[in-house]
Amino acid sequence: MVDLMRRFFDSDIWHSFKRNPLVIAATIAALICLFAASLAPWIAPHNPFDLKTLNLLDAFSPPAWIAAGKSEFLLGTDDQGRDVLSTIMHGSRVSLVVGICAVFLSMVIGITLGLISGYVGGALDAFIMRVADIQLSFPAILIALLIDGVARAVIAKENHDQVAVYVLIFAIAASGWVQYARTVRGSTLVERNKEYVQAARVIGRRSLAIMFSHVLPNVMGPVMVLATLHVGTAIITEATLSFLGVGVPPTQPSLGTLIRVGNDFLFSGEWWITVFPGLALVILVLSINIIGDWLRDALNPKLR
């Protein structure tokens, strides 16, 4: 473990990280978001979902630094008197969980199909890649809407709220696997002809073992970069779907839901209800994207 730490602090990546103030700032911002989101039930100043603590007299209270604001609601309250800061913390929790789970699921699907496609080749490869092409010709949002629509038709309304998050994760994952499959297939085509793979075949390893123990570790580099950037995209997709009202149910709002709810009050002057969740979304996605972009450059030996 100590050895691993020393190797990390000695690596090119760490040196590149130290010289890049923007990335350091983005990492700190992302960590704060992650921290606030994951610990929301314990560190949030209020519990916005506990109806007993809500008071309608607190509704539409502006942020604390404005004259009419109350000091206990730092970023103001919404139409039901819920503390905006607390809803943001709970909301980014939902957003991050959906984003990360969706990325993980599309990684698993994409990597498996890409490996099989590249390693086995032939008709199977052609079939998987044509499916990917077809999928790419539809926008991700459309596919997610389609899956969500089907799920709504199949699942009874009273049960739908419970499974909504899973449907959302699956919908976003199903629209994102193509990138992974293509990237992995491309790298697999290169790796499978290298002599270490042939050596494993001469030894008599089975194809599946060669795919996952030999080829997979050598194609993971670009996949990790893709995954980091994809977390940002997935969070945006989730926010878009929730904004359109087909995402998570209002009982567990995500950042997208909060922005939609607040949007109704924008023209009546209660701007804080929608602007702060929007700002949180921008900071979260922007910092993830900055980290992803830097990672792509740092891991690319040609740009060093």
Please report, as ranges, the residues that interact with other proteins according to CB under 8 A.
194-196, 198-205, 214, 217-218
Q: Which of 274, 247, 271 has the alpha carbon at shortest distance from 94?
A: 247
Residue 187 to residue 113: CA distance in whole angstroms = 13
Instruction: Tell me the closest approach of the beta carbon of residue 200 to other proteins, in angstroms.
Output: 7
DSSP output for 131-145: HHHHHHTS-HHHHHH
Residue 178 to residue 230: CA distance in whole angstroms = 12
CA angle (10, 184, 304) in 5-degree steps:
35
**Contact of 26 with 291, CB cutoff 8 Å:** yes
Instruction: Tell me the closest approach of the beta carbon of residue 118 to other proteins, in angstroms.
Output: 17
Instruction: Tell me the closest approach of the beta carbon of residue 294 to other proteins, in angstroms.
Output: 23
Instruction: Tell me the closest approach of the beta carbon of residue 77 to other proteins, in angstroms.
Output: 53
Cβ nearer to other proteins, comparing 186 with 249: 186
What sign does the dihedral 59-64-65-67 (CA atoms) show? positive
Angle at which helix 216-243 crosses helix 84-120, to 10 degrees, equals 140
Instruction: Tell me the closest approach of the beta carbon of residue 215 to other proteins, in angstroms.
Output: 9
Cβ nearer to other proteins, comparing 70 with 205: 205
Cβ nearer to other proteins, comparing 4 with 156: 4
Cβ nearer to other proteins, comparing 47 with 218: 218
Cβ nearer to other proteins, comparing 15 with 201: 201
